[in-house]
Amino acid sequence: MAAILVVDDERAIRNSLKEILEFEDYTVELAENGAEALAKVKNGKFDLVFSDIKMPEMDGIALLEAVLQERNDMPIIMMSGHAEIDTAVKAIKLGAFDFISKPLDMNRILVTVRNALEKKNLVQETTKLKQETTMLKKKIGSKYQMIGKSEPLQKIFEIVSKVAPTDARVLITGPNGSGKELIARALHNQSNRSNAPFVEVNCAAIPSELIESELFGHEKGAFTSAIKTRIGKFEQADGGTLFLDEIGDMSLAAQAKVLRALQEQKITRVGSDKDISVNVRVLAATNKNMKEEIDEKRFREDLYHRLSVILIKNPSLAERIDDIPLLAEHFIDQSCQEMGVPKKTISDAAIKKLQTFPWTGNIREFRNVMERLVILCGKTIEESDVDLYTQPL
């Protein structure tokens, strides 16, 4: 449970607040002046500070400024029996979460505390997501590189270089396993949003009744299992890129809300009527024939046109067979590094044999086959190894 520090020079008020907050299962510590409170903030882990303004020596405004220098994410609720508008405005401008007038109202206290803690948790979740995104970029290295020199891939490179610096929405089409996500990541990494989050949503993997909550978030109590407020993918991607993979599998109800978000740059959490502004670039991908989906009334035509300002068709591996030598070398090196084994090579005959397969599973299938060959073969992967260990669909 959250830890709260209550600061007031009047013992009766300190003790009353302690009783109220502890009844709600909060952990409470007390301080009778600003200096004592500041020392406790420096030495302890508090989630929230409740502070009086009128105190001797170090008043609440000075404490507010000092605490925010130590912990700029700390919610601080100010209170005073001298409810002057100027004082309240000054406290809020300096960074206080809220201002409560004395005599204190118990319901107002508890609502304000809950709101402050929920906001703090949301900010921490967003910050953590951004940090994880930055760390992930550093870790993945070449994992999401687009490998190849074939003509179809060169055309994609050219389109990406032109489109990435803009905020134009892009719809990426192509068969399963062909690497549509790599194009989306290339667009993000070469954009002005590259230092902001790249948030991916697999629309096919989320049940239709949960997709709205996943995308737009929900308020506490919005439905049976909504035990706390949760930010959705649109808010998580604020300032960055949202990649809607398998967009063709999204429900019509969710499509309508996504359309509104694209039109107005605003979203509404499930269970709320409050609009939240978001600055998100949306990229989408699908393996479906969107014309057929629209004709069959399974996909909104207006949303399709919103998403496909730029349309990129990703080729299958069979359409870029000339890239197999480079892909083989790349996946062999990657697999050897991941397994901690000495680097292996592959013979020209083995490469030519791999180029004869249909690769219906595309890059995903090819990557699995190369990993299998690295595990089962000797220092050099020969044509006989390909015959023995490769059974493409």
pLDDT in tens, 313-326: 999 999 999 999 99
In a domain, 83, yes or no: yes
In a domain, 131, yes or no: no
Tell whether 46 and 28 lie within a shared domain: yes
Tell whether 191 and 291 lie within a shared domain: yes
Across 108-183, the runs of DSSP E, i.e. the strands, are 170-173
In a domain, 136, yes or no: no
Residues 6 or more apart from 207 whose CB is under 8 A from it? Answer: none
By CB atoms closer than 10 A (0-12, 13-18, 19+), residue 271 is middle
pLDDT digits (tens, 9 = 90+) for 11-53: 999 899 999 999 988 999 999 888 898 988 888 788 999 999 8
Question: Pick from 258, 281, 313: which residue ends a domain?
Answer: 313
pLDDT of residue 103: 84
> What is the C-alpha to C-alpha distance for residues 188 and 84, in angstroms, rounded to an integer?
49
* Exposure string over 5-43, b if 16+ CB within 10 A, otherwise e: bbbbbeeebbebbbebbeeeebebebbbbbeebbebbee
Question: Pick from 286, 313, 340: which residue ends a domain?
Answer: 313
pLDDT of residue 141: 42
pLDDT of residue 131: 64
Tell whether 333 and 287 lie within a shared domain: no
Residue ranges in the chain whose pLDDT is less than 70? 82-84, 129-144, 392-393
> What is the C-alpha to C-alpha distance for residues 279 and 262, in angstroms, rounded to an integer?
10
In a domain, 239, yes or no: yes
Domain of 384 in residue numbering reads as 317-389
pLDDT of residue 134: 53
In a domain, 140, yes or no: no
